[in-house]
């Protein structure tokens, strides 16, 4: 006699696999691009100051890197539509890695800025084309978890390479760092042929102008841009703001910040899948602002390390919450635009922060500049509060998925 299985005993449908071969290959290119980027991120501004141009050269080096990153991010969705993910990603890795050793040719500021401009363009191609491809390879049901995992993969290089770049320049010289940055990006090119050139995406494409005009995308992007301002300041000016006697403590701080960011991004992604990401945006902003404000205590190495840790937690929460919300509010065909907008917010914030902070600190000193920056970050409370209220309304309706944290007019 055959028994009919009880409805309660039936197994739940299996969740779609997350770690597919294309996604694992994509992780390799993420590691390569991120390692190349972070090894040089604090090393190049320091290198720029050795040519006699003063501390302002540090801000110009980071600003140049971020300038062409922003320009490239605006153009990348169009390039992806024409040439596909694979080609644009490959060109990006080449531009990010190949020019790095050329920095050793001259310490003149114009030469350093020129190399940074090329590398910024390459970085733009890798993060936008690669980011949209990555989102397409993650099942929608596991978006928060998948983006959190991507955050860990991308966060490991920042955790290791950012302080390592500073340490290597002090002990082995700039040439070693620049060569290592080139190798990391160029070796990752070997994995690109295994990635899909294009991915079938349902829904209609969303243009950059439409994305910028839509509050459901613009709000999270603005909040994230404000937190990224402080990120650009930390990597560029923290090594200069802390007394020379505490150089080793700077390396510790540059380890703590990405470590806290990576852990917080993972936890935020896990929580976002269960309860929605809308209510995480406001805490992410507030923690980032408080941490930046506390960096004004530059005379105390312990206080600086704690401050960058608080900032790192807030920054990690803001990273995952804003990106998850933005992807949830467009169809798959709009992932390229979301990737461009989010990375535009990231890099424009870092670039503006580096250049503006350099000018501000020249007039006020580093302590006051950190304090004023932390206070200015609170101007993003309005869009952060909007997502917080939208998430609260969604919970009131008995739903908790991030997709319903706010209206999705672009679907």
Q: Which three-class secondary structure string do you get for 163-218?
A: HHHHHHHHHCCHHHHHHHHHHHHHHHHHHHHHCCCCCCCCCCCCCHHHHHHCHHHH
Assign 139 to helix, strand or coil: coil
DSSP string, 284-316: HHHHHHHHHHHTT-TT-HHHHHHHHHHHHHHHH
Q: What is the DSSP letter of 103?
A: G
Q: What is the pTM of this model?
A: 0.74
Pairwise CA distance, residues 311 & 228, whole Å: 10
Pairwise CA distance, residues 186 & 95, whole Å: 9
Say what angle helices 174-188 and 143-171 make with each other, to 10 degrees. 150
Q: Closest by alpha carbon to 15, among 135, 139, 137?
A: 139
Pairwise CA distance, residues 167 & 156, whole Å: 17
pLDDT for the residue 160: 85
42 φ, ψ to 5°? -95, -20
Residue 201 structure tokens: 């995406």
Assign 99 to helix, strand or coil: coil
Pairwise CA distance, residues 144 & 19, whole Å: 14
Q: Which domains does the chain have, with CATH numbers?
A: 20-189+206-404 (1.20.1250.20)
Mind listing the pLDDT tens digit of every residue in the chain (411 residues)? 444 444 444 454 566 667 788 889 999 999 999 999 999 988 898 888 887 666 678 878 888 888 888 888 888 888 888 888 899 999 999 999 999 999 999 888 899 999 999 999 999 999 888 888 888 888 777 777 788 788 788 878 877 888 888 888 888 999 999 999 999 999 999 999 988 877 666 666 666 777 777 777 888 999 999 999 998 888 878 877 777 666 677 778 888 888 898 889 888 887 877 777 778 889 999 999 999 999 988 888 888 899 999 999 999 999 988 988 888 887 777 787 888 888 888 878 887 887 888 888 888 888 999 999 999 999 888 888 877 777 666 655 544 443 433 333 443
DSSP string, 348-397: HHHHHHHHHHHHHHHHH-HHHHHHHHHHHGGGGHHHHHHHHHHHHHHHHT
Q: What is the DSSP letter of 7?
A: G
- In tens, the pLDDT along 138-184 reads 877 777 778 878 878 887 887 788 888 888 888 899 999 999 999 99
User: Are the C-beta atoms of 247 and 170 separated by less than 8 Å?
Assistant: yes
């Amino acid at each position: 006699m055959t028994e009919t299985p009880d409805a309660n005993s039936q197994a739940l449908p299996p969740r779609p696999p997350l770690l597919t071969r294309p996604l694992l290959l994509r992780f390799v290119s993420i590691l390569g691009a991120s390692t190349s980027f972070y090894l040089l991120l604090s090393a190049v501004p320091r290198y720029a100051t050795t040519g006699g141009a003063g501390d302002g050269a540090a801000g110009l080096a980071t600003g140049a890197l971020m300038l062409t990153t922003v320009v490239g991010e605006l153009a990348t969705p169009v390039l992806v539509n024409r040439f596909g993910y694979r080609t644009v990603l490959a060109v990006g890795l080449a531009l990010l890695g190949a020019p790095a050793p050329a920095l050793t040719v001259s310490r003149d500021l114009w030469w350093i800025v020129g190399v940074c401009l090329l590398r910024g363009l390459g970085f733009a191609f890798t993060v936008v084309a690669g980011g949209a491809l990555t989102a397409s390879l993650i099942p929608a049901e596991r978006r928060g978890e998948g983006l959190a995992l991507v955050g860990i993969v991308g966060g490991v290089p920042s955790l290791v390479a950012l302080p390592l770049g500073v340490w290597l320049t002090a002990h082995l010289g700039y040439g070693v760092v620049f060569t290592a940055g080139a190798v990391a990006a160029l070796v990752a090119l070997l994995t690109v042929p295994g990635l899909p050139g294009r991915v079938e995406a349902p829904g209609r494409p969303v243009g950059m102008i439409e994305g910028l005009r839509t509050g459901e995308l613009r709000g999270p992007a603005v909040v994230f841009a404000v937190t990224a301002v402080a990120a650009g300041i930390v990597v560029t000016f923290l090594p200069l703001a802390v007394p020379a006697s505490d150089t080793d403590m700077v390396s510790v701080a540059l380890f703590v910040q990405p470590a806290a960011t990576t852990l917080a991004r993972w936890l935020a992604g896990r929580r976002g899948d269960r309860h929605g990401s809308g209510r995480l945006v406001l805490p992410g902003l507030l923690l980032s602002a408080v941490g930046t404000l506390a960096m004004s205590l530059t005379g105390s190495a312990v206080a600086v390390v704690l401050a960058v840790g608080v900032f790192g937690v807030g920054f990690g929460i803001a990273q995952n919450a804003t990106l998850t919300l933005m992807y949830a509010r467009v169809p798959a065909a709009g992932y390229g635009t979301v990737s461009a907008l989010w990375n535009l917010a990231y890099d424009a914030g870092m670039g503006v922060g580096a250049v503006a902070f350099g000018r501000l600190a020249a007039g006020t000193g580093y302590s006051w500049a950190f304090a004023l920056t932390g206070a200015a970050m609170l101007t993003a409370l309005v869009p952060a509060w909007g997502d917080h209220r939208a998430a609260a309304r969604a919970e009131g309706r008995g739903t908790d998925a991030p997709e319903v944290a706010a209206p999705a007019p672009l679907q």
